Amino acid sequence: MAKTVLIRLDVNGEKRELAVPSQRTLLEALRYDLGLTGSKQGCDKGDCGACTVLADGEPILSCITLAADAQDRRITTIEGLAGPQGLDEVQRAFADCGALQCGFCQPGMMLSARALLNSCPKPSLDQIKHALSGNLCRCTGYTKIYEAVQVAAGMRAASDRKPVQSERAEASDSVAHAPKEFAP
Amino acid sequence: MSGVGTRLPKQDGAAKADGSGVYADDISFPRMLHAKILRSPHANARIKSIDTSEVLKYPGVVATLVGAELPIKYGVIPWTHDEQALCTDHARFVGDAVASVAALDERTAEEALKLVKVDYEILPAVHTPQEALKTDIKVNEKAKVGNITKHVNLQFGPVDEAIASAAAVTRETYRYAGSTHVPIEPHCAVARADGDGNLTVWSSTQIPHYLQRELSRVLELPQSKVRVIQPLLGGAFGGKSDPFALEFCVAKLALKTGRPVKILYTREEVFYAHRGRHPMDMDVTVALDSGGRIAAVDNKILIDGGAYASFGLVTAYYAGQLLTGPYRFGTYRFDSYRMYTNKPPCGPKRGHGSVQPRFAFEVALDEAAEKLGIDPIEVRRRNFIGEFVETVNGQRITSNGFMKCLDVVEKASGWRERHGRLGRGRGLGVAGSMYISGTAYPVYPNEMPQSGVLVKLDRSGRVVVYSGASDIGQGVNTLLCQIAAEELHCDPRDVTIVAADTDLTPVDLGAYSSRVTFMVGLAAREACQKLAAKLLKAGGETFAEACQKAEAAEGAPLAATGGYRTQKLGGNYRGGTIGASPAYSFTAHVAEVSVDEETGIWRVEKIWAAHDCGRALNPTLVEGQIEGSVYMGAAEAQMEEMVYDEKGLLFGPSLLDYRIPTSLDTPDLDAHIVESNDPNGPYGAKEAGEGPLHPAIPAIANAIHDACGIRIRELPFYPNRILKLLKERRA
């Protein structure tokens, strides 16, 4: 059995003391010891980015960071992103732009986006792609995520492209081998 | 009011944005145990004995579970119950579940698994469907003949005669690699039993109702004692539409111990759970007459199914039945075998069964048209089947916006100026497709509605919609708010959704076959319209006042139900109902690729996709479905493959080895919505979640041809395969 260590964490501005097994990861400490289940476990190997949190404003993978090694750093989880006045611009833009579908990658994705916008308030599309390349999303094809980051940065409005109408279309060549038709 | 057709933000958007949304793994209870599953290291082995006596001595272990304690076989399709929660006597793939241990914490359960003693007799294994056809080795006893899960052979018209008299014929072999869903959320289930024998299972499932039925059968509990709740779901794509070992294990362990039990699959276990895209080997013949019209299509399909049936019976049909639009086929034949092999079972991945033959056909169509000197978009227009017609295999097509889809991608991509003119190493390709909006029949025969919705009005003006449908991220709960707002003229933010809880909500069959918008949408509209009539009669200055007056007039609380009743559809022959759908969606893509002819390294630069979804009830959600589908299709062309070694061991069951596209690997996606307003869909809507995946792969293959003159017929389009074809072309 692993020995138990006493650690001090600074999470979302709250100082917490925990007695945890020495091999406790930061993700486990957040989810199991502090009840901050917004940080997600997708792979537990540092591949998917769902567990991303900010340490002194930098995105880190909490599933491959020991809780003990996160001491003396200011940790921000998704629960700490919104302020008393409501959701952060990134959170608001993700919701408005449909940048989320299942939402599982989203806490990590939004924290990476927040870190990007803090260091680079008007990022290019390439900068956005690079900044988010450690966060896998399986639902969106990333397109609306880029849009949300740009909306959060005040660089554009949410997309409002109108659907194209299709008129009733006849078969191209109804003589050749016309299939059986029926009334609509 | 944000009724249908508006870009209402997602109903669960705030909970997902601030981290407060509850997924299965976020659920925990006092005294909850954590369980793990021991898995077979052998591809095919007789289990002679399992000894768990040492396990119970390990500190922290509370209970063990072996297959003999829940031996009843199950499966999502009632005719192919062929798997057990834990194997009793036969393990059929590396990763098959063999025993389970529940302990005070996950790490203890994991450690204690090492103490389970399993005596295996290792048997020779079957690794390919070709071997499966020839061998005497039996992978799964459920197969009546050899290793065949299902064989389908259907012919419509004189195929051979049509081929013999055709102007241009292509006859080639295509190979589609297996891939898997990779939802970012691993499967997770939690079970709790109360003192009265009521069992509740929270699971990351997209089929709560079918799961309830199978739990009831396997655990031998009345269905009324089993409650399944689907919390927020972190992605599925078809990968959570079977019952899985973990759900039975947590349920049985909870009953055994009287304590709540959780199992969270590791990422590695998610790869073994699989049910992903079936590998298919296809011999495809496409014959065109001198006018470029499709005279015949003939497809021989060999499907690698893995160790269990899953939806495989349907796969064998879908591989043929769903190809017969958006083009007219003069004649058509397919012959498909779905084979058992000693690998993780395949199942329904987004575009179930039809993505693979669609790839082969759309490439073959391009090639045949090239022989006749017909432009790829033109040949597709020339074969357009039309609207309100029957396909060659007797499926009823209603609205069909495919021609408009072609127009949109042709224009957006600059096809006329750019196709064939981009110079060496750069090209454009086109492809089209069709997909179902739900299947005409439930997986178990019954006359009850496929979908039910209950709507209750409170005198406060709060609307509560009780829906059995699974929101798996596609946004059906948001849609329900919009439908309520549309019909009742209430604020969509005053709608509460109670969803996917088999005790509280009416039955919906699940989030599969792209059925949800169509069927749940119609059920919800019906329920809301009944209430709207009462509110209109009652009148009132505000919505709440109308609710109060209507309730007073009714003399009872206000509620109404709606249902989706299955229509009789399909061809008049055995299997003719499989692939029958109340409406079909249509899609066209143009892909642009660049290929480095020195290295074979290529990339998709951009994909323009136009999708006829009937009517977009929420354009933001529809665009999201199109973009996600195109991304996933392009990923299969680019990089994804389930690779096994000669012993049946899956290479690299992790996200480092099984690569999925990051933001840097994903092409630019340009999604266009086409509305054909289907007469039968809710407000004209059809599906959007699976259809738009199909054309991505052949459009890319056809673009590679435009870029460098080669025809690639095997997925994924690895650079070494491209390079080999380039060398052969030069030779």
- Beta pairing partners, B483: none
| Domain B153-179+275-440+574-730, classified CATH 3.40.1350.10, yes or no | no
Task: Report which DSSP code applies to B380.
Answer: H
Task: Estimate the crossing angle of helix A143-152 against helix B619-638, to 10 degrees.
Answer: 130
> Could you list the residue range(s) of the whole structural domain that residue A96 is in?
83-158
Q: Are residues A111 and A66 in the same domain?
A: no
Chain A residues with CB under 8 Å of B377 CB are: none
**Residue A124 maps to a domain:** yes
Query: How far A118 CA lies from chain B's nearest CA (Å)?
Result: 18
Kindly report the backbone phi and psi dihedral angles of residue B339, in degrees, each rounded to the nearest multiple of 5, phi listed first.
-105, 145
**Which of these, B221, B612, B222, B217, lies nearest to B397 by C-alpha position?**
B612
**Model pLDDT for residues B81-133, shown as the tens digit of each residue:** 999 999 999 999 999 999 999 999 999 999 999 999 999 999 999 999 999 99
Q: Is the dihedral of CA B263, B267, B268, B274 positive or negative?
A: positive
Chain A residues with CB under 8 Å of B624 CB are: 98, 101, 139-140, 144
pLDDT at residue B440, rounded to an integer: 85
Q: Under a CB-based contact definition with an 8 Å cutoff, are residues B631 and A23 in contact?
A: no
Q: Are residues A94 and A132 in the same domain?
A: yes
A127: contact with B, CB 8 A cutoff: no
- Beta pairing partners, B467: B453, B499
Considering its fold, how many domains does chain A have in total? 2
**Residue A172 maps to a domain:** no
**Model pLDDT for residues B575-592, shown as the tens digit of each residue:** 999 999 999 999 999 999
What percentage of residues in chain B have a pLDDT greater than 70? 100
Q: Are residues A89 and A133 in the same domain?
A: yes
**Model pLDDT for residues B168-194, shown as the tens digit of each residue:** 999 999 999 999 999 999 999 999 999
Instruction: Name the residue facing A48 among B293, B401, B655 (closest C-beta).
Output: B655
pLDDT at residue B731, rounded to an integer: 85
C-alpha–C-alpha distance, residues B567 and B542, integer Å:
39
Distances (CA, A) of B94 to B44, B89, B265, B533, B643: 8, 15, 16, 59, 13
Q: Are residues A106 and A36 in the same domain?
A: no
**Model pLDDT for residues B461-507, shown as the tens digit of each residue:** 999 999 999 999 999 999 999 999 999 999 999 999 999 999 999 99
**Residue A29 maps to a domain:** yes
Burial B146-163 (b: 16+ CB within 10 A, else e): bbbbbebebebbebeebb
**Residue A177 maps to a domain:** no
C-alpha–C-alpha distance, residues B73 and B67, integer Å:
10
pLDDT at residue A176, rounded to an integer: 40
- Cβ distance A95 to B474 less than 8 Å, yes or no, reads no
A134: contact with B, CB 8 A cutoff: yes
Split at pLDDT 50, 70, 90, the class of B567 is: confident
C-alpha–C-alpha distance, residues B33 and B573, integer Å:
52
**Residue A163 maps to a domain:** no
CATH at A60: 3.10.20.30
Q: Are residues A98 and A143 in the same domain?
A: yes
For residue B416, how many C-alpha atoms fall within 13 Å in the half-sphere facing its CB? 7
Dihedral-angle region of residue A91 (phi above 0 means left; psi in -120 to 50 means alpha; beta otherwise):
alpha
C-alpha–C-alpha distance, residues B494 and A148, integer Å:
26
**Which of these, B596, B612, B261, lies nearest to B404 by C-alpha position?**
B612
B674: contact with A, CB 8 A cutoff: yes
Q: Tokens at residue B393, please?
A: 């295999």
For A:65-84, CB contacts with B below 8 A are 77-79, 81-82
**Residue A175 maps to a domain:** no
Instruction: Name the residue facing A179 among B389, B669, B672 (closest C-beta).
Output: B389
Query: How far B635 CA lies from chain A's nearest CA (Å)?
Result: 10
- Cβ distance A104 to B669 less than 8 Å, yes or no, reads no
Q: What is the pLDDT along chain A (184 residues), one digit of tens a residue?
A: 579 999 999 999 999 999 999 999 999 999 999 999 999 999 999 999 999 999 999 999 999 999 999 999 999 999 999 988 899 999 999 999 999 999 999 999 999 999 999 999 999 999 999 999 999 999 999 999 999 999 999 999 999 999 999 987 677 654 444 455 565 4
**Which of these, B549, B506, B106, B191, lies nearest to A24 by C-alpha position?**
B106
Q: Are residues A139 and A74 in the same domain?
A: no
Give the global pTM: 0.97
In this prediction, the answer to ipTM > 0.85 reads yes
B605: contact with A, CB 8 A cutoff: no
Closest chain B residue to the Cα of A30, Cα to Cα: B26
Q: Which of A62, A80, A98 is the last residue of a domain?
A: A80
* B442-564 has the same fold as B24-123+184-235+240-273: no
Q: Are residues A8 and A49 in the same domain?
A: yes
Query: How far B653 CA lies from chain A's nearest CA (Å)?
Result: 11
Is residue B520's pLDDT more than 90? yes
What CATH number should be reported for the domain whose range is B24-123+184-235+240-273?
3.90.1170.50
Identify from A33, A104, A147 which residue to disrupt to test chain B contact, counting B C-beta atoms within 10 A and taking the largest count: A104
**Residue A164 maps to a domain:** no
Q: Are residues A1 and A76 in the same domain?
A: yes
Closest chain A residue to the Cα of B105, Cα to Cα: A32
What percentage of residues in chain B have a pLDDT greater than 90? 98
Kindly report the backbone phi and psi dihedral angles of residue B65, in degrees, each rounded to the nearest multiple of 5, phi listed first.
-145, 135
Q: Are residues A18 and A59 in the same domain?
A: yes
Reduced to 3 states (helix: H, G, I; strand: E, B; else coil), residue B199 is strand
**Which of these, B565, B552, B563, lies nearest to B457 by C-alpha position?**
B552
C-alpha–C-alpha distance, residues B376 and B368, integer Å:
10
Instruction: Name the residue facing A142 among B13, B17, B663 (closest C-beta).
Output: B663
Q: Are residues A3 and A71 in the same domain?
A: yes
Is residue B211's pLDDT more than 70? yes
Q: Which of A48, A80, A112 is the last residue of a domain?
A: A80
The domain locations on chain B are 24-123+184-235+240-273, 153-179+275-440+574-730, 442-564
Chain B residues with CB under 8 Å of A45 CB are: 267, 654-656
Distances (CA, A) of B624 to B314, B454, B637, B722: 27, 28, 20, 31
Q: Are residues A51 and A18 in the same domain?
A: yes
pLDDT at residue A173, rounded to an integer: 54
**Residue A165 maps to a domain:** no
Instruction: Name the residue facing B234 among A104, A159, A183 (closest C-beta).
Output: A104
What average pLDDT does chain B have?
Answer: 97
What CATH number should be reported for the domain whose range is B442-564?
3.30.365.10
pLDDT at residue A168, rounded to an integer: 75
Residue type at B604 in one-letter notation: V
Q: Are residues A71 and A97 in the same domain?
A: no
B21: contact with A, CB 8 A cutoff: yes
Burial A23-52 (b: 16+ CB within 10 A, else e): ebbbbbbbbbbbebbbbbbbbbebbbbbbb
Closest chain A residue to the Cα of B9, Cα to Cα: A96
